Chains A and B, each alone.
Chain A
Amino acid sequence: SQQGEEDPQALSIQEGENATMNCSYKTSINNLQWYRQNSGRGLVHLILIRSNEREKHSGRLRVTLDTSKKSSSLLITASRAADTASYFCATVFAGNMLTFGGGTRLMVKP
């Protein structure tokens, strides 16, 4: 299985702090994507990083990819209470099928 696995499984921080979530996977990939899911809601695409890229930024989000270690990290800077959600990495090996990890539950306390 080439499923991504996130750690930590749960993270609790204060508003204003940075949150870092990690994802590991097992096989070579075409790209890796991060999604957010608010409780009971759909998945929202945050950022896509291709296998030949090492870092991408989008607003307060920073994603890194290390294909030699088969790992990625998502950094949310200056977190807000509204960032409270579950965050999932998903890998694409071939075609366009996403393989999701188990997610990190982030709680940002006001």
Chain B
Amino acid sequence: EPEVTQTPSHQVTQMGQEVILRCVPISNHLYFYWYRQILGQKVEFLVSFYNNEISEKSEIFDDQFSVERPDGSNFTLKIRSTKLEDSAMYFCASTPGATAYGYTFGSGTRLTVV
């Protein structure tokens, strides 16, 4: 069964530092997503990406966040200057098409900002 792979599984960073979370979506999927889940809270949408462009983003996804598909396989989320409140589980996901597809999620990266 194809999987979405995320690295690292855990990341601890100092407040104010930049972090890059990495994801390898399923190879024939066209849409890529980042979601986050702060401990004890709901899973929240951050951004969707298609054809090398952001297609949707939430209010959470401010100028501190950016996404990139640097090559044919990786999809990254960068947080430029981390804050304590960025501590969360970050999930990458992909779908083959635009609508009415179930997502395939990765196992997540637990980001802890200290």
Asked if chains A and B come from one complex, the reply is: yes
A interface residues (Cβ-Cβ under 8 A, vs B): 3, 30-31, 33, 35, 40-45, 47-48, 50, 88, 90, 92, 95-103
Q: Are A100 and B43 in contact (CB under 8 A)?
A: yes
Q: Report which of B43, B100, B101, B110 forms a contact with A43, defined as CB distance below 8 A.
A: B43
Smallest beta-carbon distance A104→chain B, Å: 13
Q: Are A48 and B100 in contact (CB under 8 A)?
A: yes
Smallest beta-carbon distance B50→chain A, Å: 9
- Complex Cα–Cα for A3 and B43 (A): 11
Q: Are A98 and B108 in contact (CB under 8 A)?
A: no
Segment at the A interface, from B13-21, B70-78, B79-87, B91-99: B91-99
- Complex Cα–Cα for A44 and B45 (A): 16
Q: Are B99 and A97 in contact (CB under 8 A)?
A: no
Q: Are B108 and A95 in contact (CB under 8 A)?
A: no
Q: Are B104 and A45 in contact (CB under 8 A)?
A: yes
Smallest beta-carbon distance B11→chain A, Å: 15
Residues in A whose Cβ lies below 8 Å from that of B91: 42-43
B interface residues (Cβ-Cβ under 8 A, vs A): 4, 31, 35, 42-45, 48, 55-56, 58, 91, 93, 95, 98-108, 110
- Complex Cα–Cα for A43 and B31 (A): 17
Q: Report which of A43, A92, A102 forms a contact with B105, defined as CB distance below 8 A.
A: A43
The answer to whether residues A30 and B42 also contact, given A43-B91, A95-B48, A98-B35 and a CB cut-off of 8 A, is: no
Residues in A whose Cβ lies below 8 Å from that of B100: 30-31, 48, 50, 92
Residues in A whose Cβ lies below 8 Å from that of B106: 42
Q: Are A100 and B102 in contact (CB under 8 A)?
A: no
* B47, closest chain A residue (CB): A97
Closest A-B pairs by Cβ, 6 of them: A45-B102, A100-B43, A42-B107, A42-B105, A43-B105, A97-B45
